[in-house]
Structure 1
Amino acid sequence: MKNIILFVLLLSFMSVILIGCQSNDNNGLPDENISKISISKSNGFGKVNSDFFTVYEDKDTLDIFKNAISSAVKSEGIANMAEPELDIKVIYTDGNKQGYHLWLGEKGQKSTFMNVNDTHTIYSISEEITNQLIDLVK
């Protein structure tokens, strides 16, 4: 009987490990390729301003944004942020769309973003990627 209980516990533990390894939240970013990024000044939380001041469709720039979103670190707790500075509309090759609010840091600082559909959660972007985004956005 003890062996059966140990075996069941071992299987349960292995299942948790395998599921955890397969889990890839990716910060709301689908496992798809980005086809276009549009950027605008934000008009507030919960929606993307459609008055875009720049649009990117080249692979190198799209890779920077994909890296920014997928490598960002989720902050614990509920977000209490000032009004967003920028909005980003991401369009994927399959036609899906996603919006983000972005607070762009200064050179050498981290930046912050949130999904427009989840304004209670923020993500930090590294200083290195912030520097790349500054060069693209400013």
Structure 2
Amino acid sequence: MKKIIFFVVSLSFMSVILFGCQSNDNNGHSDVNISKFSISKSSGFGKVNSDFFTVYKDKETLDIFKNAISNAVKREGIANMAEPKFDIKVIYTDGNKQGYHQWVGEKGQKSTLMNVNDTYTIYSISEEITNRLIGLVK
């Protein structure tokens, strides 16, 4: 009887862990309420260059980037990317911070986003959102 109870409890625990990982697939952050984001030229993988050339706090621009993060689509497989072009530091309304590497496509192309803490996974950003991001980073 103890083995059955242990097995059921173990399955329940695993379900909670798996569900938690799946529901937190917004590129490393489940809360996409952004209070500010800053952009810099990238200095390489795994860290955000803190020499920001612009900082955005206005609602319209924050909504563009919020849309980019929340609608980015995870690409399957292990990422093998060239050095990132831009780094982005996002500060959420709950005080959490997150860093991203970003490759911005040309008008009509997709862009790519990578969480600096997970350099093996990339996310695609649609052509429509890319067209809106171009003016923010260039």
TM-score class, shorter-chain normalisation, is 0.7 to 0.9
User: Using the alignment, how far apart are the partners of 1:92 and 1:118 within structure 2?
Assistant: 19
Deviation at 1:133, TM superposition (A): 0.3
**TM-score normalised over the length of structure 2:** 0.81
The alpha-carbon deviation at position 94 of structure 1 amounts to 1.9
Q: Which amino acid aligns with 1:102?
A: Q
Say if 1:39 and 1:87, in contact at 8 Å, map to a contact too.
yes
CA distance in 2, matches of 1:23, 1:57: 27
Structure-to-structure mapping, 1:94-133, within 5 angstroms: 94-133=94-133
- What do you get for the CA RMSD once the two structures are aligned? 1.7
How many residues in Structure 1 have an aligned counterpart in Structure 2? 120
Runs (5+) with no aligned partner, structure 2: 1-14
- Conservation of the 8 A alpha-carbon contact between 1:104 and 1:111: yes
| Secondary structure class of the residue paired with 2:40 | strand
Report how far residue 25 of structure 1 moved: 2.0
The percentage of counterpart residues that share the same residue type is 85
**2:56 is equivalent to residue 60 of structure 1:** no
Whether the aligned pair in 1 keeps the contact of 2:32 and 2:66 (CA below 8 Å) is no
Equivalent AA in structure 1 for residue 45 of structure 2: F
- TM-score with structure 1 length normalisation? 0.81
Q: Distance in 2 between matches of 1:47 and 1:24?
A: 21
Question: Would you identify which runs of 4 or more consecutive aligned residues in structure 1 move more than 3 Å?
Answer: none
State the one-letter code of the partner of 2:111: S
CA distance in 2, matches of 1:64, 1:54: 15
